[in-house]
Structure 1
């Protein structure tokens, strides 16, 4: 049983390293082997914390499977979702490279698996492999650009524009189910509100309005986009 679990963990970490979308794909075979042998694999149930605000980062965390929300707790305990992660993305990297405590928390929104690399090993690889350093810089720069755009969205757009943008963001991040219309992530109304910087009641009302206008269809937590062009227009008009 232990041997089977060990092999399973090795397979998971190997898939993270060799995935075409992974920044680690640029490593030499010997570096990949060193990385794989030093990775730790962790399993999280839906709703479990991967890390908490105020904690010290344990290493570079790569999401192998599942979906994760990164959020900061605001005034009155209200959450503000600042990022949504999908495989094979990094989480918790800002605090790690800044050598600071986490300023946000990460929670699995479905059963998830992470692979973690120690900070010392990442620094060693970055110093010896310029391609890896450039790959990680590109990844961080992409995230920074996204964060800047989200800041503008959440501060300048009206409620309809913010919610439309959030639905499009979820679509672009997680894609569609086989019907090519249902967004492949099922968030609570509260999470949708926290992603869109609005109250839960406003999120519920706006979703209902979109549904009555024929822009989307709602079935519990499942949201189907019926009119992609109009949803995009609502998002752009703000």
Structure 2
């Protein structure tokens, strides 16, 4: 099959599969695959190039090398250079892939470590916040308990002070009442004693007056009527009377 026939078949195949894929390179890869399966050497070489470069398909150096060798076996010219190039790519590509894998692993490890550090930092922040909140709650509870205890002690002291003041006031009032009662009793006693003394004085004065009046009467009778005296009984003249 010559080149013109291949191009014609390619155009016809592409025209029939214009809507088979979004990427025309994928359609070309499929066409080259079909042609290579029929034993077309040029298609094998082209398919090897597409595998080598990753055009229309995923890059696969092993399959590229396989297609180049199949084409070489069928007499394709200039394929030896392609085979050497692919072998070199595989050799250095493996080291590069290894380095890339190592770098990727390092990046992934760094990313994981970063995530872990961030997670640990968040968890630490949460724990520290919880500790601070708990400490704040404990402090608030302690302060409240202290305030309540102080308030209770203050209330007890104030109550004791009020009760003491009430007792002292009651004692003062009682003492005042007792003093007033004593003073009143003393005044009453003094008044009674004064009244009694005045009464005695009156009675004494009355008795003295009565005695004086009686003495006066007796004296008068003695001077006018000798028989009206204590000695009249001894007088014979008065006995007749």
More contact order relative to length (CA 8 Å, sep ≥ 6): 1
Q: TM-score, normalised by structure 2?
A: 0.19
Structure number having the greater strand percentage: 1
Greater CA radius of gyration, 1 or 2?
2
Greater fraction of residues in helix: 2
